[in-house]
Amino acid sequence: MAKKSFFCIDGHTCGNPVRLVAGGGPLLQGATMMERRAHFLAEYD
């Protein structure tokens, strides 16, 4: 079994929890953030 580690920063904005992945995530394909989001959802979610 492979292990993956990534660096996150947890916080809150107006009482809502926020988690920012600041490092260690996969390299995403796409020219725009919308394309990268679609790639992430298709391959990693």
How is the chain split into domains, by residue range? 7-44
pLDDT bin (cut points 50, 70, 90) of residue 45 is confident
- At residue 4, the pLDDT reads 80
Give the C-alpha distances (Å, rounded to integers) separating 1 from 4, 5, 12. 10, 13, 33
pTM value is 0.60
Residue 2 has pLDDT above 80, yes or no: no
Give the C-alpha distances (Å, rounded to integers) separating 7 from 4, 10, 20, 37. 10, 10, 8, 19
List, in sequence order, every beta strand (DSSP E) within 1-45. 7-13, 16-23
- Segment 18-39 shows an average pLDDT of 94
